A = this chain, B = another copy of it.
Amino acid sequence: MTNDFPAGLALRSPRVDDHARVLAVLDQWWGGLGGETGSRERALLLPRLYFQHFTGTSRLAERPSGDLAAFLIGFFSQDQPEVAYIHFAGVDPALHGRGIATALYRRFFALARGEGRHRVLAITSPSNSASRAFHTRIGFTELPGAPEAPPSVQPDYDGPGLDRVVFSIDLPADG
């Protein structure tokens, strides 16, 4: 298998038995943010179904040792034939700054374009400034937020107290 992915990582689609591994690194990579409640909330955002039904549009990046280095869980909108959606992505903090997230996103963009999807959406928490900077840097726009909220913030987007910022990028047809 050829592999031009950064940092010597190997890329593959996840399998169902990767689910527990990904949840385990979430706690490490997010630094245990929010304690047990945070851990439970991250697990609920990433139920096993993504590792059963949306693996074709998702990717794991592994070190030569097999240890997990990064992941991207995405899907193609079932209702909107032009839209692809990145649900959850993460990179081992020890590997930040090596272009891994950018490479994962660009692979997903190429996959989406290849299937006729020319818009990619993603969301994050308003306080996640690293995620907001990353998405802006690679070309996403933050959609307008509520007038009374801080810039780009959509209050209660995912439920009471679950404010979100929504990112959108239109992919060039021949990029």
Contacts and interface: CB of A to CB of B under 8 A. Distances in A.
A30 interface: no
B78 A56 contact: yes
A76 to B, nearest CB: 7
A105 B79 CA distance: 20
A110 interface: no
A153 B49 CA distance: 17
Given A43-B162, A85-B53, A48 B79 contact: no
B75 A159 contact: no
A53 B37 contact: no
A47 B80 contact: no
Interface residues of A, number: 36
A78 B77 contact: no
Contacts of A161: 40
A39 B159 CA distance: 10
A77 B75 CA distance: 10
B53 A77 contact: yes
Given A53-B79, A55-B79, 10 more contacts: A40-B41, A40-B161, A41-B41, A43-B159, A44-B158, A48-B157, A48-B158, A53-B75, A53-B78, A53-B80
Interface of A: 19-20, 23, 37, 39-41, 43-49, 52-57, 75-80, 83, 85, 87, 156-162
